[in-house]
């Protein structure tokens, strides 16, 4: 990193939100790296940043011109498929590939397991084939002889070794381990509660499945992959090909368009390795894309969770005691089921380190999924706190305002409640004996620590061409969240031109290194580098214009489509003619963050209104409002899209999604979109989002993560709205009609 410039003082924070907050502006001293762009701050006036810019690749996607991995085709392309284990647990005892190799149209057959290897779930990859058509590939799979020694299995994680004992109401009955402080606080509390909450396994269900196309040219490998980690999978593929002597520099990954990935596409996966090996053996390009059943059953999932809490409130509605233990429902690896909860409510309450245990089952392993561990824990904890508040006769919003320690979210609570009409809706009474009842609920969101502000060291290339067009290039992938639009907006803002003049390209590892799309770190990690590249390119252009006009270089600016001083300037295109035959090219660097900045994590809150048919048990979400910060809001329309998408996923998680396993065969019974229910257009409520832009002062841009935080609150807000409507909590996601009817029967009894 370059040595620092002199420290500068900048205002950070935000202006008052409607609903009773005050200005939250602080002066912070920061030290930019030498050569970096001057830091943006709370008083910076923007032209493009924060406006409703259209997605730069939206038309290509809507028209079908965007080419995904699935769309790549080459002369002589073969189709790949994977032979998968029909048993959930055992050992591969025989594997004969010769008959498959002898079939017409078959170009390659490879083993993915050796005889003697363990088989760990139904769908575990055993071998792979490539043939001229998918039908011939299926014939080749059928010709493979694979035999197994079957072992006793269990696909229900709640029955795994180490699982707690449950009563008939699915509440944990195992005794709590002793803790004097918690016991004494509970004994003195005005209101106490001990309750168990559960969520089910959720599959990722992206529009584009896992897989890709591999093509060799000697020892050089090009792979078009549906991935959220271009550079990460490049290293994985190079390592997997190491027996062939392939260094990482010989592998180029292409992922210019990716059809979704919520955490399951960080790794190349067995499908990525298999397509490269098949193409190597066949000496021809190979496409291997998973089908929908494979996508549901072999590419990971959000694990299930079992959570128990006990806690108590004092006479003022403050939490005085809180205890937590949880269990994660994982696959055969027995890992990845960790759960988080909103500890910012606890204040000075008596508590201890949370207890957690992962439970293994003979299914495919857990993989990260949008805010790993948080939607499960927030559902349980936020519903638990609503139940506590209800028992104490306290409004849920009042309870949170009294216990939430985060000032920013306090302002968001008040603003959101006013905009949603919380007080009026909460006071509304359902008619006695009414068939349809309504309720409203709310929940908080958090993501982060310093990771939400991004990290170094990544790069961006910016080119200014003689015709006035501009390029911004990154090797990182645009997962569909809008990275290319962010690149165009930041470049345009820095150069004083419309974003339509910027061509943003992402997803090719031949361009500068970028992060994986995970942990809500992509935009905050790349935004300062994007701006720095444009700043350096603009600096070179300003030098040329200063020389041409005979004015001091320090007075020349790029603004409003012109380059020059207040007295003398050139239109952008005319200024770019000074560049000459070759473009200006600058490489932007992602420097270290300045420090903690205005806030250390990302905040938000959500409100939901539901209507329930008490005859059928059907729950319909009618309205949702999300209030969310993400540091500086760069592309407002796309930021809102992230929050709205998270709320849609929350409706699906809260009401519909659950993996169904057959204990006898070990198979998933609903591994398709016919039987695995996700929210459709008719299930969706009226959605509203308010983006809360904050100058956090972490770096020259001040962007923070957005992918994860809004997904944390959605299901919890819906569950709390159901509790309000019914007067009894449904503690098990998804909230399906049978659970609603059981809860009503229990309440009546």
Taking all residues of the chain, what is their mean pLDDT, rounded to a whole number? 96
Q: Quick one: what percent of the chain has pLDDT higher than 70?
A: 99
- Closest by CA to 514, choosing from 450, 587, 465, is 587
pLDDT band at residue 464, thresholds of 50, 70 and 90?
A: very high
pLDDT of residue 3: 74
Distances (CA, A) of 324 to 80, 270, 305, 738: 47, 37, 13, 28
The answer, yes or no, to whether residue 452 has pLDDT greater than 90, is no
Average confidence (pLDDT) over 209-213: 98
CA dihedral 74, 79, 80, 83 (to 10 degrees): 180
For residues 205 and 401, give the distance between their C-alpha atoms in angstroms, rounded to a whole number: 36
CATH of the structural domain 31-67+452-589, one choice from 3.90.1720.10, 3.30.365.10, 3.40.30.10, 3.40.50.1970 = 3.30.365.10
| CB-count exposure of residue 432 (10 Å: 0-12, 13-18, 19+) | exposed
The answer, yes or no, to whether residue 450 has pLDDT greater than 60, is no
For residues 179 and 350, give the distance between their C-alpha atoms in angstroms, rounded to a whole number: 9
Per-residue pLDDT of 74-126, as tens digits, reads 999 999 999 999 999 999 999 999 999 999 999 999 999 999 999 999 999 99
pLDDT of residue 496: 98
Per-residue pLDDT of 597-636, as tens digits, reads 898 889 999 999 999 999 999 999 999 999 999 999 999 9
The answer, yes or no, to whether residue 451 has pLDDT greater than 70, is no
Distances (CA, A) of 89 to 148, 203, 303, 331, 399: 9, 21, 19, 12, 49
Per-residue pLDDT of 128-148, as tens digits, reads 999 999 999 999 999 999 999
Half-sphere exposure (CA, 13 Å, Cβ side) for 195?
21
pLDDT of residue 241: 86
485-488: long-range pairs with CB below 8 Å, 24+: 485/53, 485/54, 485/55, 485/56, 485/57, 485/635, 485/638, 486/523, 486/526, 486/527, 486/530, 486/634, 486/635, 486/638, 487/460, 487/526, 487/530, 488/53, 488/56
For residues 3 and 262, give the distance between their C-alpha atoms in angstroms, rounded to a whole number: 38
The answer, yes or no, to whether residue 249 has pLDDT greater than 80, is yes
pTM for this predicted structure: 0.97
The answer, yes or no, to whether residue 37 has pLDDT greater than 80, is yes
Which pair of tokens denotes residue 334?
A: 């027995």
Per-residue pLDDT of 523-578, as tens digits, reads 999 999 999 999 999 999 999 999 999 999 999 999 999 999 999 999 999 999 99
| DSSP letter, residue 63 | H
pLDDT of residue 449: 63
For residues 259 and 450, give the distance between their C-alpha atoms in angstroms, rounded to a whole number: 29
Q: Are 342 and 379 in contact (CB under 8 A)?
A: no
For residues 227 and 257, give the distance between their C-alpha atoms in angstroms, rounded to a whole number: 9
pLDDT of residue 596: 78
pLDDT of residue 600: 84
Q: Please provide residue 719's backbone torsions phi and psi, each rounded to the nearest 5 degrees.
A: -60, -40
**Lowest mean pLDDT across 408-412, 591-595, 732-736:** 591-595
The answer, yes or no, to whether residue 32 has pLDDT greater than 70, is yes
Average confidence (pLDDT) over 450-475: 92
Quickly name the fold that domain 76-154 has: Aldehyde Oxidoreductase; domain 3 (3.90.1170)
- Closest by CA to 487, choosing from 462, 464, 509, is 462
Q: Strand pairing partners for 307? A: 197, 326
Tell me whether the CATH fold assigned to 76-154 matches the one assigned to 180-202+302-450+598-748: no
The answer, yes or no, to whether residue 1 has pLDDT greater than 70, is no
Per-residue pLDDT of 382-410, as tens digits, reads 999 999 999 999 999 999 999 999 999 99
**Lowest mean pLDDT across 49-63, 165-179, 436-450:** 436-450
pLDDT band at residue 453, thresholds of 50, 70 and 90?
A: confident
Per-residue pLDDT of 405-416, as tens digits, reads 999 999 999 999
Q: Quick one: what percent of the chain has pLDDT higher than 90?
A: 95
In the chain, what is the greatest distance between 2 CA atoms, to the nearest angstrom?
A: 89
Distances (CA, A) of 709 to 351, 374, 519, 529, 629: 25, 9, 10, 23, 9
pLDDT of residue 18: 84
The answer, yes or no, to whether residue 244 has pLDDT greater than 70, is no
Ranges of each domain in the chain:
31-67+452-589, 76-154, 180-202+302-450+598-748
The CATH number of the structural domain formed by 180-202+302-450+598-748 is 3.30.365.10
The answer, yes or no, to whether residue 497 has pLDDT greater than 60, is yes
């Amino acid at each position: 990193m370059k040595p620092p410039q002199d420290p500068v003082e900048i205002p950070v924070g935000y202006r008052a939100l409607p609903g009773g907050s005050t200005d939250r502006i602080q002066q912070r001293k920061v030290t930019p790296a030498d050569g970096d762009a001057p830091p943006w701050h709370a008083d910076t006036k923007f032209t493009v940043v924060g406006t409703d810019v259209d997605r730069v690749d939206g038309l290509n996607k809507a028209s079908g011109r965007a080419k995904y991995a699935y769309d790549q085709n080459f002369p002589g392309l073969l189709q790949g498929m994977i032979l998968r284990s029909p048993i959930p647990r055992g050992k591969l005892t025989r594997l004969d590939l010769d008959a498959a190799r002898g079939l017409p149209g078959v170009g390659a057959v490879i083993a993915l397991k050796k005889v003697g290897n363990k088989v760990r779930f139904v769908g575990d990859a055993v071998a792979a084939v490539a043939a001229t058509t998918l039908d011939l590939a299926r014939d080749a799979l059928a010709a493979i002889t694979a035999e197994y020694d079957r072992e006793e299995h269990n696909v229900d994680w709640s029955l795994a070794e180490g699982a707690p004992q449950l009563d008939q109401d699915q509440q944990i009955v195992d005794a709590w381990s002793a803790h004097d402080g918690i016991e004494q606080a509970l004994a003195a509390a005005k209101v106490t509660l001990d309750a168990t909450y559960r969520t089910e396994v959720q599959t990722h269900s992206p529009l584009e499945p896992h897989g890709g196309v591999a093509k060799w040219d000697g020892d050089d490998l090009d792979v078009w992959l549906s991935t959220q980690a271009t550079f990460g999978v490049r290293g994985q593929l190079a390592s997997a090909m190491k027996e062939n002597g392939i260094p990482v520099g010989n592998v180029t990954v292409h992922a210019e368009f990716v059809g979704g990935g919520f955490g399951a596409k960080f790794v190349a996966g067995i499908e990525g390795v298999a397509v490269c090996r098949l193409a190597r053996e066949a000496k021809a390009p190979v496409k291997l894309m998973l089908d929908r059943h494979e996508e549901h059953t072999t590419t990971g999932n959000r694990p299930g969770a079992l959570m128990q809490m006990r806690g108590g409130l004092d006479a003022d509605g403050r939490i005085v005691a809180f205890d937590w233990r949880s269990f994660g429902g994982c696959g055969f690896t027995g890992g990845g089921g960790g759960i988080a909860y909103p500890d910012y409510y606890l204040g000075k309450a008596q508590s201890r380190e949370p207890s957690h245990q992962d439970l293994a089952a003979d299914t495919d392993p857990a993989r990260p999924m949008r805010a790993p561990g948080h939607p499960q824990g927030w559902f349980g904890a936020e519903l638990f706190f609503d139940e506590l508040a209800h028992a104490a006769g306290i409004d849920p919003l009042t309870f949170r305002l009294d216990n939430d320690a985060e000032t920013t979210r306090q302002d968001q609570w008040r603003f959101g409640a006013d905009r949603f009409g919380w007080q009026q809706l909460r006071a509304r009474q359902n008619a006695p004996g009414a068939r349809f009842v309504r309720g409203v609920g709310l929940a908080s969101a958090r993501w982060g620590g310093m990771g939400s502000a991004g990290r170094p060291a990544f790069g961006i290339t910016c080119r200014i061409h003689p015709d006035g067009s501009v390029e911004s290039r990154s090797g990182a992938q645009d997962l569909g969240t809008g990275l290319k639009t962010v690149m165009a907006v930041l470049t345009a803002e820095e150069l004083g031109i419309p974003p339509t003049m910027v061509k943003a390209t992402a997803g090719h590892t031949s361009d500068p290194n970028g992060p994986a799309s995970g942990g809500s770190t992509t935009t905050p990690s790349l935004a300062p580098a994007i701006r720095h590249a444009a700043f350096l390119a603009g600096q070179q252009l300003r030098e040329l214009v200063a020389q041409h006009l005979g004015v001091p270089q320090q007075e020349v600016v790029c603004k409003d489509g012109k380059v020059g001083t207040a007295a003398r300037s050139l239109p952008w295109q005319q200024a770019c003619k000074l560049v000459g035959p070759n473009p200006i090219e600058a490489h932007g660097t992602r420097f270290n963050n300045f420090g903690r900045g205005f806030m250390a994590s990302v905040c938000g809150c959500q409100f939901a209104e539901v209507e329930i048919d008490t005859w059928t048990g059907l729950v319909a979400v009618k309205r949702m409002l999300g209030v969310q910060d993400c540091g500086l809001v760069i592309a407002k329309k796309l930021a809102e899209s992230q929050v709205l998408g998270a709320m849609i996923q929350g409706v699906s998680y809260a009401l519909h999604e659950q993996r169904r396993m057959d204990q006898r065969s070990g198979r998933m019974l609903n591994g398709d979109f016919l039987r695995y229910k996700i929210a459709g257009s008719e299930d969706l409520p009226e959605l509203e989002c308010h983006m809360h832009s904050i100058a956090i002062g972490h770096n020259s841009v001040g962007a923070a993560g957005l992918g994860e935080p809004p997904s944390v609150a959605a299901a919890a807000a819906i569950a709390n709205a159901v509790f309000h409507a019914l007067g009894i909590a449904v503690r098990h996601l998804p909230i399906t009609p049978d659970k609603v009817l059981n809860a009503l029967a229990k309440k009546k009894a």
